[in-house]
Structure 1
């Protein structure tokens, strides 16, 4: 699970904007945003860079 969607919403950015920034199709990016598929680690780092957040902020913690 990832937190890309709430971060995009918080920043007022669109999925299309993110798709362009990470050089992926809109469909692939939408799947990442909606947690249908998970990005690879290198793509996760690209997303974090585009959103200007620490990569750890994109992940859902497994600790209670």
Structure 2
């Protein structure tokens, strides 16, 4: 069962599994097994991967809850609105 987003994050970071393996001092096969969902990393390796990829360790996992986002706007003096960000909340209907 796939619970890590490692393949997706590697693509986003334009990094190969081979390079990540070198940087975290494991075999390329170990990274391949993680990206395919065939194995799970030890916590030390998980933290090392997160640090190496410059992501929060939580970002390595596929979310188990849906998130809803609401855009936040402020009204300017001229009456127009400017998007200043968004707020993310848990989906109350998600089971």
TM-score, with structure 2 as normaliser:
0.63
List per-residue Cα deviations over 1:12-45 (Å, max 9, x = no partner): 1000000001100111111011111111111110
Relative contact order, CA 8 A, sep 6+: which one is greater? 1
Q: Secondary structure at the match of 2:51?
A: helix
Q: In the alignment, what sits opposite 1:22?
A: 24
Aligned partner of 2:54 among 37, 52, 55: 52
Which 5+ residue runs of structure 2 have no aligned equivalent?
67-95
| Greater helix share, structure number | 1
How many residues were matched structurally? 64
Q: In the alignment, what sits opposite 1:4?
A: 6
Q: Which has the larger radius of gyration?
A: 2
Aligned partner of 1:32 among 26, 34, 47: 34
TM-score, with structure 1 as normaliser:
0.91
Which 5+ residue runs of structure 1 have no aligned equivalent?
none
Q: Distance in 1 between matches of 2:5 and 2:32?
A: 13
